[in-house]
Chains A and B, each alone.
Chain A
Amino acid sequence: MRLGNLLKVAVILVVAAAVSLVSFYPVAGVPWLPLTQDINLGLDLRGGVHVVLEAVDTEDAKATPDAVQRSIGMLEERINQFGVTEPVIQQQGTNRIIVEIAGVDDPDAVVRDLIRPAYLEFRTEDGTTVLTGADLSDAREAINPNTREPEVNLTWNPEGAKTFAEVTAAHVGRRLGIYLDGHMLQNPEIKQPIPDGKAVITGYESLQEANRVAVLLRSGALPVKLDIMEKRTVGPQLGADSLERSVTAGAIGFGAILLFMVLYYRLPGLVSAVSLVVYATLVLLVLAAFNATLTLAGIFGFLLSLGIAIDANIIIFERLKEELRTGRSLRSAVDAGFKRAFVAILDANVTTLIAAVILYVFAPVMIKGFALTLGIGILISMFTGLVLTKWMLHLLAGSGMVNSPRLYLK
C-alpha cells in the first residue's frame, strides 16, 4: 500500500516524461509526432504577409459592396495561383479586406502582385487579344429559364459589342479564351455570331461556379482600386531566426525555473517541476487541438505563463512550510496548505484571466495570440497547480517513505 503510492508517483513520472519527450522531441518517420509539428506557426515565425486593403472610390469605379466582393474574388484567384497553403482572406467592416499568406519567399513581391488592378482579356485561338475588360460592362450569373442550367451573361459596352460581333462572326466553331492576369479562366466555344452585344457562357456545374466566374469577370471589367492600409511582411530568414531564438531562450528560462524550484523547495520543488513539464505539454496540446496559430508574441505569452504558472505552486509550498513549522503531520500539512492557498490562487488567477480576456477582445490582431496563450495558460496552470501537484504530494506523503522534514524544509 505504501509502496503502491510510490509506484503511482513513479508511473506519473514516467508517463509525464514520456508524453513530454515525444511531444517535443522530433522522432523521425512518425508524422504525428512531435506535437509541435501540429501547431501552426504564425506569419512572423515562418515568413509571410499580413495586409489590410481598403477598396477606395476612384473616378471610374466606386467602392460599393459589389466592388469589395469582386476584389475578394480576384484576390482569392490570385492567391490560389501562388500555390500557398491556408491563405486567409476576410472582409473587415464594409470596405476593408484582410489578407494573410504564410510561407512565401518574397512577401513584398506578393503584396505588389495582389494590389495591381485585374487585367481581363479575350484572346482568339491564335493568341491575339481582341477584347479587354474595358470593353465589358457587366457579367452576371443566372439560371436559364428554359434549360434550368446555370450560365453567365455578359454585357458589352457599345464599342465592345461591335468588336465582339465581328470576332464571333469570323471565329464560329472556334474558342475564345478568357484570361485574367494572363491566366486562363475559361475557354468557351463560339457557337454562332453574336451581333447584339449580349453573350452567354454555359456549361457550369452549379450556380455557385457561375457566380465565381461572373465575379472574376466583373473584377476585370470594373477594376477596383485597392489601397494598402497596413502591411506587415516578415522574411523567412527573420521568421526562422525569431523561432529559434525564442525556443532557445525559453528552454534556458524554463531550466532556470526548474532548478530554482528544486533547490529552494526540495522535494515539493521536484514535484512542481514535474507539474510544470506537464503544464507546458498540456498548453501545447490545447493549442494543437484548437488549431491555434502560434505567433512570436504567442510564444512569449506561453513562456511568460510558465513563470506565472509556478506561482500557484509557490503559494502552496509556502503554506505547506508554515503548516509543517506549526508541528502538523505531513499529511495534514499538505491538506491544510492546499485548502488555505486555494482562495488566494483562485482570486489571483481570475483577475489575470479578466485581463487576458479583455486583451483578447480589444487587442489588435498581432497580440491576440499573446492574450490567447496567456488565458489558456492560466486555466491549465490552475489544473496542474491545484490538482496534479496536490495528487503527487498526497501520494508522496501517504507513502510514508519520504516524510523526513528535511526534504520539505530547510
Chain B
Amino acid sequence: MFHFVRQRKYWYLISLLIIVPGIISLLFRGLNLGIDFTGGSLVEVQFQKQVSVQEVRAVLTGHGLERSVIQLSGDRQVLIRTGVITETQNQAMIESLGKEVGTLTVLRNEAVGPVIGKELAQRAILALLAAAVAIVVYISWRFEFKQGLAAIVALLHDALITIGIFSLFWIQVDSAFVAAVLTILGYSINATIVIFDRIRENAKAAKKTEPLEDVVNRSLWDTMARSINTSVTVMFMLLALFFLGGATLKAFVLALMIGVVSGTWSSIFIAGPVWLDLRKRLPRSKRPAGARA
C-alpha cells in the first residue's frame, strides 16, 4: 500500500504551486467583480439577425457608454455590462439598439445600485466567516480542536484554490459565487469528516506500537473508494449542468467543479497530514472531558 502520509511534503508542495499564484493574483488585481458587488447594469438581448460587437459598440458609444463590456454568445445574443446608469439611460440604450442594430428581445436586464453591491459584499464575507467559525466549533466538539484546525486549513485551501483560479483566469464573480464557495466548504468538510471519523475509529482499535502516521495512512486508504466515488457522482451532476444547464449559472457550476476536485484532494492529502503535523509540532493541549463521541 502506497504510503501517502510519508510523502506529504510533496502534496503540500503541489497545493502551494496552485495556491501561491492565486494569492499573488488576488493581492495584485483582486477579483473580477460583477455588478452584484460593484453596482452597474447588465443587459442580455437577443437580436433577430446576426450582429457584431462593433455594431453594438457604436450604439453604446453614442450614449457615452463606450467603456462597457460587450460579449457575444452565439451570434444573436449579446451581453452588455455597464457601470451604474439610470433607468432612463438603460431604457434609452435598449431603445437605440432596437432601432439602430435590429429587432431585439430583452432576455435579462439587471441593475444594481452601488449601495446594494457594497452591502452584498459585506454579507458575503460575514457569511463565510460565520460558516468557518461554526464548523470549527462543531468539529472541535465532535473530534478534537487540532482536527478542527486541520479541517480549517483544508477549507482555506479549497477556498483559496477556487477564489485564486477565478482571479487568475479573471472569471467574473457574482452573488452565486458566494453560494458556490460556501457549498464547497460544506462539501470539503463533509469529505474531511468522513476521513477523520475513520482515523478516530482506527486510532481506538490500533495497537500502541503502531505509529500514528500509519494509522492515518490506513484510514485514508480505507476511505479512498468512498472519497472518489462520491466525488464522481457529484461530478456527473456538475458536468451535466455545466454543458447542458444554460449560460446563467455557468460560472457557479465551474466554481463548484473546481471546489469538488480541490475538496477531494484536500480531504485526502491535506487535512489528515496537516493534523498529524499539528499533533507532532504543537504542544499537547488538554482535551476537555467528553470530547470524543
Interface residues in chain A, defined as those with a beta carbon under 8 Å from any beta carbon in chain B: 44, 52, 107-108, 111-112, 115, 227-235, 237-238, 241-242, 245-246, 248-250, 252-254, 256-257, 260-261, 264, 296-297, 300, 303-304, 306-308, 310-311, 314-315, 318, 322, 340, 343-344, 347-352, 354-356, 358-359, 361-364, 366-367, 370-371, 374
Contacts and interface: CB of A to CB of B under 8 A. Distances in A.
Given A108-B106, A311-B190, A348-B193, A256 B183 contact: no
B108 A235 contact: yes
A264 B229 contact: yes
Contacts of B249: 296-297, 300
Contact of B244 (A52, A245, A257, A306): A245
Contacts of B225: 318
A246 B247 CA distance: 10
Contacts of B46: 237
B169 interface: no
Contact of B197 (A232, A304, A344, A355): A344
Contacts of B107: 234-235, 237-238
A340 B108 CA distance: 50
A307 B243 CA distance: 17
Nearest to B190: A348
Given A300-B252, A314-B230, A242 B131 contact: no
Nearest to A256: B236
A374 B179 CA distance: 11
A252 B110 contact: no
A310 to B, nearest CB: 5
A246 B110 contact: no
A375 B111 CA distance: 30
B139 interface: yes
B290 to A, nearest CB: 15
B134 A308 contact: no
Interface string B78-91: 00000000010001
Contact of A364 (B108, B123, B193, B229): B123
Given A253-B237, A351-B189, A364-B120, 6 more contacts: A107-B106, A249-B244, A250-B241, A343-B293, A350-B138, A362-B123
A233 B105 CA distance: 12
Given A253-B237, A358-B182, A230 B105 contact: no
For the side of the interface on B, what is the size category?
35 or more
Contacts of A237: 46, 105, 107
A272 to B, nearest CB: 10
Contacts of B153: none
B176 A257 contact: no
B42 to A, nearest CB: 9
A10 to B, nearest CB: 27
Q: Which 8 A-B pairs have the closest CB atoms?
A: A253-B240, A307-B234, A362-B127, A355-B186, A253-B237, A249-B244, A245-B246, A344-B197
B183 A304 contact: yes
A307 B264 CA distance: 14
A221 B228 CA distance: 67
Nearest to A319: B226
Contact of B230 (A296, A311, A343): A311
A350 B253 CA distance: 23
B175 to A, nearest CB: 5
B111 A230 contact: yes
Contacts of A229: 112-113, 115-116
Given A297-B176, A310-B230, A257 B236 contact: yes
A304 B190 contact: no
A299 to B, nearest CB: 9
Interface string B250-266: 00110010000000000
Given A238-B108, A304-B234, A351 B139 contact: yes
A252 B243 CA distance: 11
A233 B176 CA distance: 17
A310 B234 CA distance: 9
B110 to A, nearest CB: 5
Contacts of A227: 113
B187 A352 contact: yes
